[in-house]
Chain A
Amino acid sequence: DTGVSQDPRHKITKRGQNVTFRCDPISEHNRLYWYRQTLGQGPEFLTYFQNEAQLEKSRLLSDRFSAERPKGSFSTLEIQRTEQGDSAMYLCASSQGGGSAGYEQYFGPGTRLTVT
């Protein structure tokens, strides 16, 4: 068990460019969550997957944001036409599934996005 990994750790891009981040969850975890954290704030939920199914996406910040988890393993988060306001830390977390709030979510180190 190597934990949740995210790639890249840092991304600098120019406004208007598209960016894609990858998250590899803990292998036996079937739930995967994406959050965004801005400076001085707690993480903000964006979307989650149960296996390959994206079960909640209404909290994605705009239609420029999309996420996939094609084979129920790794996930990608894409931001199209980036804006300076997208600069933030993007966090991925995974957990075992099931109908309980008690399952711990394990967080990755995050991808820090800077839009210039």
Chain B
Amino acid sequence: GNSVTQMEGPVTLSEEAFLTINCTYTATGYPSLFWYVQYPGEGLQLLLKATKADDKGSNKGFEATYRKETTSFHLEKGSVQVSDSAVYFCALSDSNSGYALNFGKGTSLLVTP
């Protein structure tokens, strides 16, 4: 079945550091890939998405490229801010189960001043 594996946290970075959170997936079909973010005390919200191979999703300075050959969708940001501290979830969906999301375990990011 489908699954998502993302790097364990917590990740602690200084402000303005470069961020990478690794995400790999296993899927039988051609899934769409997502990064969701959960800020402290808030609900899950979509950060970015990519619906086919080689697509790049981007939002708020974050980027991720759908790599079919390596089954990966790594999240990157060139210069993190304290306000980026949150839990980040990689997820996939495909036509199984009505495009329900299949999430990784989440990676907690803490950015210090």
Contacting pair B98 A102 (CB below 8 A): no
Among listed B39-47, B67-75, B77-85, interface-contacting one: B39-47
| Contacts known (A101-B31, A102-B32, A102-B49); A42 close to B91, Cβ less than 8 A | yes
| Contacts known (A42-B89, A42-B91, A107-B45); A31 close to B103, Cβ less than 8 A | no
The interface residues of chain A lying within 8 Å CB-to-CB of B45 are 107
Chain B residues engaging chain A, CB cutoff 8 angstroms: 4, 31-32, 36, 42-46, 49, 51, 89, 91, 93-95, 97-106
Among listed A21-29, A43-51, A66-74, interface-contacting one: A43-51
The interface residues of chain B lying within 8 Å CB-to-CB of A42 are 4, 89, 91, 103-106
Contacting pair A31 B105 (CB below 8 A): no
Contacting pair B100 A40 (CB below 8 A): no
| Contacts known (A42-B91, A42-B106); A107 close to B43, Cβ less than 8 A | yes
Chain A residues engaging chain B, CB cutoff 8 angstroms: 31, 33, 35, 40-45, 48, 50, 55-56, 59, 91, 93, 95, 99-110
Set A35, A48, A110: member contacting B98, Cβ < 8 A? A48
The interface residues of chain B lying within 8 Å CB-to-CB of A55 are 98
Contacting pair B49 A48 (CB below 8 A): no
Docked complex Cα distance between A45 and B94 (Å) = 13
Q: Which 3 A-B pairs have the closest CB atoms?
A: A42-B103, A101-B32, A107-B44
The interface residues of chain A lying within 8 Å CB-to-CB of B89 are 42-43
The interface residues of chain A lying within 8 Å CB-to-CB of B104 are 42
B56 to chain A, nearest CB (A): 14
| Contacts known (A43-B44, A91-B44, A108-B43); A99 close to B95, Cβ less than 8 A | yes
Contacting pair A43 B103 (CB below 8 A): yes
